[in-house]
Amino acid sequence: MKMHGLGNDFVVVDERGVTPLVDSIIAIAMADRHRGVGYDQLAVLSDREGSDVHLTFWNADGSQSAACGNATRCVARYLMDETEKDSLTITTDRGTLFAIDAGDGLVSVNMGQPQLAWHEIPLASEMDTLSLPIEGAPVATGMGNPHCTFFVDDAETVDLAARGAAIEHHPLFPQRTNVQFASLIAPDHLRMRVWERGVGVTLASGSSSCATAVAAARRGITGRKVRIDLDGGTLMIDWRDDGVWMTGGTAHVFDGMWKL
């Protein structure tokens, strides 16, 4: 299936009840937007006892990620339609996530508690995650994958491709990092643009939106509930006691068959 959340697009492969297909070679081939299908992330559905589904995420460069918020929402919408359930339990390498039907075609996913300690994110050495020793003093946050958030006067003016690529491979991040540039619109409203690890510039990112909301709340820039406007649309993020909830729309574009 081809799906997207706010233009953040995915290939979703259903391996429930079948022999696993996807590996790094297949992931790279599918990611090619000229000779394959093209995606920002690939999500693989598989069976897991005690949950409705298990999700494994691949980046376009063939590496894996433990979390992908928008893909989780898309898969949750698909499974809700398939099963007629209004809530789901989803396991990932990040842990167990919960999804609910938020009404009006929207889906909410609890992305779990953010990782705030340097070794959890992870960073290369012990340091203050609220102000990294990088020009611009960004915030580091883990959401099952590492994030580096810069707060700037105007996110629109940032050379995202150049800055994002450089920061992704910064030596402070041994597993590389997703990079966000966010500017304040109102106390509960941010504009954010994202460079995704292993992918590049994307129209939206769910885990990046969660990380940015957490970073903004920790800095005292916003409260814990915030609207985030991305290039592809808007997500609502609510950092509650039980985790970071993300709410937004989804789209199922088409179904296809991959020929080996």
Per-residue three-class SS string for 74-111: HHHHHHHHHHCCCEEEEEECCEEEEEEEEECCEEEEEC
Find out whether the peptide bond into 174 is cis, omega within 30 degrees of 0: no
Which one-letter amino acid corresponds to residue 209?
A: S
What pLDDT was estimated at residue 42?
97
Number of domains in the chain: 2
**pTM (predicted TM-score):** 0.92
From first to last of the 260 residues of the chain, give the pLDDT tens digit.
999 999 999 999 999 999 999 999 999 999 999 999 999 999 999 999 999 999 999 999 999 988 899 999 999 999 999 999 999 999 999 899 999 999 999 999 999 999 999 999 999 999 999 999 999 999 999 999 999 999 999 999 999 999 999 999 999 999 999 999 999 999 999 999 999 998 999 999 999 999 999 999 999 999 999 999 999 999 999 999 999 999 999 999 999 999 87
Q: Which of 43, 49, 48 is nearest to 76 (CA)?
A: 43
Residues 158, 99, single domain; the answer is: no
The residue to which tokens 């690529």 are assigned = 165
What pLDDT was estimated at residue 94?
86
- Which pair of structure tokens corresponds to residue 131? 């102000």
Q: Are 147 and 137 in contact (CB under 8 A)?
A: no
Residues 97, 170, single domain; the answer is: no
Alpha helices, DSSP H, located in the chain: 24-31, 69-83, 160-168, 206-219
Residues 104, 166, single domain; the answer is: no
120 in any annotated domain: no
Helix axes 206-219, 69-83, angle to 10 degrees: 120
What pLDDT was estimated at residue 133?
98
What pLDDT was estimated at residue 75?
96
Residue 33 is classified by DSSP as T
123 in any annotated domain: no
What pLDDT was estimated at residue 66?
87
Q: Which of 8, 39, 16, 9 is nearest to 26 (CA)?
A: 39
CA distance 33 to 2: 12
33 in any annotated domain: yes
Rg (C-alpha) for the chain, rounded Å, is 17
Residues 83, 147, single domain; the answer is: no
133 in any annotated domain: no
27 in any annotated domain: yes
Domain of 157, in residue numbers: 139-240
CA distance 25 to 179: 26
CA distance 98 to 51: 10
**3-state SS class at 202:** strand
